[in-house]
Amino acid sequence: MSETELPAVRHLALGAALLGTVVRRAEDAAAAEQLESEVRGLGVPAPTDAQAVARTGVRVIALAVRALDLAETVRPAGPRAVIGRVAAAAEALRAALGTARVDVEVALADVADPAVREELLTAVDPVDDVVLRAAKLTAVVREQIPR
């Protein structure tokens, strides 16, 4: 990881890669490949460019939501041998969401434009609910594990 790469991007990349290992249906595989491609395409913003850092954080949040949607789709179809990877993906996505939100909130201190500030605040508003969805997915997977 480069010193300027956001940790949220790394967490997202891990979650997307884990999902790619468990998809079975062609449409899910295509969605996973598209997601991984978009994650690879995320730029590395200059740490001094608050708006670029914030916009990358917002993009991470949007991609993490798509990845979680995919994870929730593939989880019911996954055999026990791979459902652990779905939970691992959900946990990586939780980390991506949380760190992206913090990136945006930190950057907000240097964003003066009220319209941009409102846009960024709106983008991070649903993060708590999405993090909860990811935690619930992990809990569902854990319930499927025989003990």
pLDDT digits (tens, 9 = 90+) for 77-128: 667 767 889 999 999 999 999 999 999 999 999 999 999 999 999 999 999 9
Answer whether residue 130 is part of any domain: yes
Answer whether residue 123 is part of any domain: yes
What is the band of 4 on the pLDDT scale with cuts at 50, 70, 90? low
Answer whether residue 1 is part of any domain: no
pLDDT of amino acid 3: 52
Answer whether residue 114 is part of any domain: yes
Answer whether residue 62 is part of any domain: yes
Q: Into how many domains does the chain fold?
A: 1
pLDDT digits (tens, 9 = 90+) for 45-78: 998 899 999 999 999 999 999 999 999 988 766 6
Answer whether residue 147 is part of any domain: no
Residue 31 is part of a domain; what is its CATH number?
1.20.120.680
Which residue bears the tokens 């319209």?
115
Answer whether residue 47 is part of any domain: yes
Per-residue buried b or exposed e for 91-128, using 16+ beta carbons within 10 Å of the residue's own CB: bbbbbbbbbbbbbbeebbeebeeeeeeeebeebbeebe
Which is nearest to 28 in space by CA: 81, 80, 89? 89
For 60, the domain range is 7-142
Answer whether residue 92 is part of any domain: yes
Helix 50-74 crosses helix 127-144 at what angle (to 10 degrees)? 30
Residue 2 has pLDDT above 80, yes or no: no
Please report, in angstroms and rounded to a whole number, the separation of the first and last CA atoms in the chain: 37
